Amino acid sequence: MVTKLMNWFDDRLPLTATIERHLTKYPAPINMNIWYLAGVLLVVVLVIQLASGIWLLMNYEPTAEGAFASIQYIMRDVQYGYIIRYMHTTGASAFFALIFLHMFRGMMYGSYQKPRELLWVLGWITYLLLCMLGFTGYVLPWGQMSFWAAQVIMSLFGSIPYIGEDLLTWIRGDYLISGITLNRLFAFHVVLLPLALIAVVFVHILALHEVGSNNPDGVDVKKFKDEDGVPLDTKPFFPYDITHDLYAIGVFLIFFVAIMFFYPDGGGYVIEYVNYEAADNLKTPEHIVPSWYYTPYYAMLRAITFPVLGLSAKFLGFVVMAAGIAIFVALPWLDRSPVKSIKYKGIYSKFFLTLFVISFFVLGYLGSVASTPLGTLLAQFFTVTYFSYFLLMPIYTKYETCKPVPDRIQLS
């Protein structure tokens, strides 16, 4: 019966072939480690966000007058509404935590190198979309921090020379942040951006299954195949990876649920305390901080304190901040190393990658606290080291001595 049904479908749609290609027979390298879990967990979080988002949408009111109260309505009067909302807020933080781990994995094992350049670029686009989703979603509760974060971020467009002010008015749809701005951000957050995200994630996975997964050794598993054409150092996704992933999803959900039910504020990181107050355009909060996942870039924005060649410090900060996010896309072409994995790369690569991680964390910290003269100095220093990882890469990867890469995966 099932076979008959499958045959009926297979005559009209490549169903079995698709399932085999993308799930059951997808060859995964045997030495994939814990870093490779972030990808599947990101898919889990994407599903969580879509599901909880739909339910939030059923009760949210996208107007300046009603938004804040409708969130409290969800939290108090909608049955289990607080679970739906906390799922969505915790999911947003989890999304970023995981995509940072996912990107770092790629940087560590050279997953962006040939033939995975396009895969990396597609992944970078999902990161961009996520940043926009995070920002637009953050404004929707219409609390004080929502309002002032929107004010600060949107005002950056106003710093662009000549066209800035007009552009800003056009983006806001008003002369100040208002209900009109809220409505358009709402439209982006619930329609345009999720649609784009799903589409790009889909293509990202298609591209992954075309070129195959990289692995911690960075060796090409397709070099040695058995008589059926299956790479030797791989295992089929089903059942080996799926059981592994299921176990990982369980562990992940334990942490996720622990935060969601017991620390939904996340100590002010998941939901900021200032957002307990409704938006008020006459009252500026004492210090405006973005969500934790933007703080490294916020620190870069604030690090630029001097105008250059008639360009304002604010505009230059904006450019540096945007460049900090954009520069990831250039990695495949900046890396001149003959080897992929950090395991076999030389000492300079290891040094600069470590420096990058330290810079990212220090900038993240600096972006979350009120600015001080020392803090600004540190932010400037670590902005330089952050970019040095990328900009010096063509030099240090070309001239360092790498260790020889084995032909096949070495299991220790």
Residues that bind other proteins (CB under 8 A): 30, 33-34, 69, 72-73, 75-77, 82-83, 86, 235, 239-240, 243-244, 246-247, 249-251, 253-255, 257-258, 260-269, 273-274, 276-277
CB of 113 to other proteins, least distance (A): 25
Residue with smaller CB distance to other proteins, 37 or 122: 37
In eight-state DSSP terms, residue 233 is T
Report the chain's C-alpha Rg in angstroms: 23
CB of 360 to other proteins, least distance (A): 15
Burial class (CB in 10 A: 0-12, 13-18, 19+), 370: exposed
Q: At what angle do helices 313-326 and 144-158 cross, to 10 degrees?
A: 100
Structure tokens at 235: 């295992």
Asked if 190 and 345 touch (Cβ cutoff 8 Å), the reply is no
Residue with smaller CB distance to other proteins, 83 or 357: 83
Distance of CA 198 to the CA centre of its chain: 14
Residue with smaller CB distance to other proteins, 171 or 257: 257
Q: What are the helix (H) ranges across 143-211? A: 144-158, 164-172, 179-187, 193-211
Residue with smaller CB distance to other proteins, 9 or 361: 361
CB of 333 to other proteins, least distance (A): 32
Residue with smaller CB distance to other proteins, 274 or 321: 274
CB of 304 to other proteins, least distance (A): 27
Sign (positive or negative) of CA dihedral 230, 235, 238, 242: negative
CB of 251 to other proteins, least distance (A): 6
CB of 170 to other proteins, least distance (A): 34
| Cβ atoms within 10 Å, residue 140 | 20
Among candidate residues 217, 156, 186, 245, the one with its CA nearest the CA of residue 342: 217
Residue with smaller CB distance to other proteins, 38 or 122: 38
